[in-house]
Amino acid sequence: MIVRNQLACVACGAIIVTRTAVGYRDSQTYTFNCPKCGIEIGYVFRTDQKNISYSFDEPSNAKWVESEEGAVATLSFDAHTPVPNELPEGITPFIATAFYIENRKAYSDEEGKRLHWIRDEWPYCERLMIHLEKGNDDLFDQEARTPPTEKPASKVERLMPLWRVMDGAFNYFTVTERSARSMVDQRIALSLSIDESLFKQFAHDFLASGRVSSIWQQLKTIRRKFVQCYPYLSPLVQMLYWKPKYRDLNTFRLSEKRFDELRQLYVDCYETLCKLLTVAIACEAIIHHGKLAVPTRKRQLSLWDFEAMPNGQKPGILERYPIGPLFVGVLDNKLRNGIGHHSAHFVPEKDEVLYYEFDDDQKKERRLSYTAFAQRVLEIFSAVELASKYFWAVLLSVDGVLE
């Protein structure tokens, strides 16, 4: 269903017709630039799913008007579907892309599971994680509905089912291929089969340094932020179900612009991924060198030296090992530094993210379409989820102890 409403820009008086897809969310927030004077206009569309009704908040920099007469533009917004840049007049984004999906039932079923997970299961898992952190074993067992046993459950016995559920659930939100997940599992298993004692030594050092508790908190925060941001990324997840020939990001745009939220999620994912890759390199060091160090041209690089080195240099180490292709592609240090700087911002009239690189003290302007940037966020979150498998291996090796 499409709701048609029109507003007038408070600056120049231009009439703009908005066409808003109803969808399943309680509220949707849209911003755009007035096609005539360029001032940013925004509005919130609310739905009452129980009473099957909708309403509009008062727009910013505009006012709702009764007539479409003299409208300078008609703009379509859909929070759940990518909007074609060349959308035919009178056609909704849903209709325009309806035949792009290869298997609509698979998409509908799996998207339903994702929404159920966000609404019902994630809050439950988050409570269980807090109980684990606080050592509230009775509360954990009560909420987890653990059947009583003669022997109290260990930390690992409590942790394993929770982690498996989260690992399996969040995989449905990522762009990661099954082969990549299998490869990480295989590399972890191979390092343990070669020298489990060496991996346990590394894991206990990791625990003693406080890194286990730190990364536990980082992963929990990233997942919480991702759950909050998923509505703004879900159209990109829908595109994973499209026929490959239609998946050109340059031909679509996202209706909801949440640059500030996505920027912070991107930076958090980048930093945590670089920390998790220390464990990945530990596995590769054991497999290839039989020790907790990697050789370079000048010296033996300890794992802590690898962790401390500038993030921009880490891909050069990673690409020497079989896991390199899994992670190197998302480690764009120039984008991370540019996006993280306060001068980076969203340019509504061009639907672009503007950021700057500094090369030899020269400031260089860089632009990236908002859709492409959102895709980068989804990709780096996927890489974090993949790399979290290494963290799980560490937790098992230290018997589920967080600190």
> 174 and 50 in one domain?
no
- Whole-angstrom distance between the N-terminal and C-terminal Cα of the chain? 52
Distance between CA 91 and CA 2 in Å, rounded? 10
Q: What is the 3-state secondary structure (H, E, C) of 91-156?
A: CCHHHHHCCCECCHHHHHHHHHHHHHHHHHHHHHHHHHHHHHHHCCHHHHHHHHCCCCCCCCCCHH
Q: Report in angstroms the alpha-carbon separations of 290 from 196, 250, 282, 384.
A: 11, 46, 10, 26
> 209 and 62 in one domain?
no
> 193 and 131 in one domain?
yes
- Going edge to edge, which strands form the sheet with 27-33? 27-33, 40-48, 53-56
Q: Is 283 within a domain?
A: yes
Q: Report in angstroms the alpha-carbon separations of 27 from 32, 42, 55, 230.
A: 17, 13, 9, 14
Distance between CA 100 and CA 399 in Å, rounded? 47
Tens place of pLDDT per residue across the chain (403 aa): 889 999 999 999 999 999 999 888 888 999 999 999 989 999 999 998 777 789 999 999 999 999 999 999 999 999 999 999 988 888 889 999 999 999 899 999 999 999 999 999 999 899 999 998 888 888 888 888 766 565 667 788 888 888 888 888 999 999 999 999 999 999 999 999 999 999 999 999 999 999 999 999 999 999 999 999 999 999 999 999 999 999 999 999 999 999 999 999 999 999 999 999 999 999 999 999 999 999 988 889 999 999 999 999 999 999 999 999 999 999 999 999 999 988 899 998 889 999 998 777 788 899 999 999 999 999 999 999 999 999 999 999 999 888 8
Distance between CA 126 and CA 400 in Å, rounded? 17
In this prediction, residue 222 carries a pLDDT of 97
> 113 and 49 in one domain?
no
Which SS3 state, helix, strand or coil, does residue 242 take?
strand
Distance between CA 144 and CA 123 in Å, rounded? 13
Distance between CA 94 and CA 382 in Å, rounded? 26
Q: Is 88 within a domain?
A: no
In this prediction, residue 150 carries a pLDDT of 59
What is the DSSP secondary-structure string of 326-388?
HHGGG--HHHHHHHHSTT-EEEGGGTEEEEEEEETTEEEEEEEEHHHHHHHHHHHHHHHHHHH
Q: How distant is the alpha carbon of residue 245 from its chain centre? A: 24
Structural domain span for residue 389: 104-397
Task: Please tell me the pTM assigned to this model.
Answer: 0.91
- In single-letter form, the type of residue at position 155 comes to K
> 126 and 71 in one domain?
no
> 170 and 109 in one domain?
yes
> 22 and 127 in one domain?
no
Q: How many domains does the chain have?
A: 2
**Beta partners for 29?**
44
